[in-house]
Amino acid sequence: MLIHPSHVAIANEVFSPSQFEVDFYAGMIQAFEQAEAEGAAAVLYEDMHIDYAHVKTAREVLDYHDRLSVAGGSAA
């Protein structure tokens, strides 16, 4: 909860996904979708085991980023 409008910019900066996170999650989804098209239910991405639960979170983060961008937020 913010109590003063001057806090909004700081909160947006701290809680918005960074460009690194956006790129990371987009790459994760792409790698998973390619593996899934080949019949796999998991993939190794950036030395991490990725499955449906990880991709669900990645999609939620990207959706949040997109909603902030459309709303005029300061998503980096």
d(CA 43, CA 41): 7
Q: What is the pLDDT of residues 28-50, one digit of tens each?
A: 999 999 999 999 999 999 999 99
Q: What is the pLDDT of residues 8-19, one digit of tens each?
A: 889 988 999 999
Share of the chain above pLDDT 90, in %: 76
φ, ψ for residue 41 (rounded to 5)?
Answer: -110, 5
Q: What is the CA radius of gyration of the chain?
A: 15
d(CA 22, CA 59): 10
**Sequence-separated (6 or more) residues with CB below 8 Å from residue 32:** 43, 45, 50, 51, 54, 55
CB-based contact 65:17 (threshold 8 Å)? yes
pTM of the predicted model as reported, rounded to 2 decimal places: 0.80
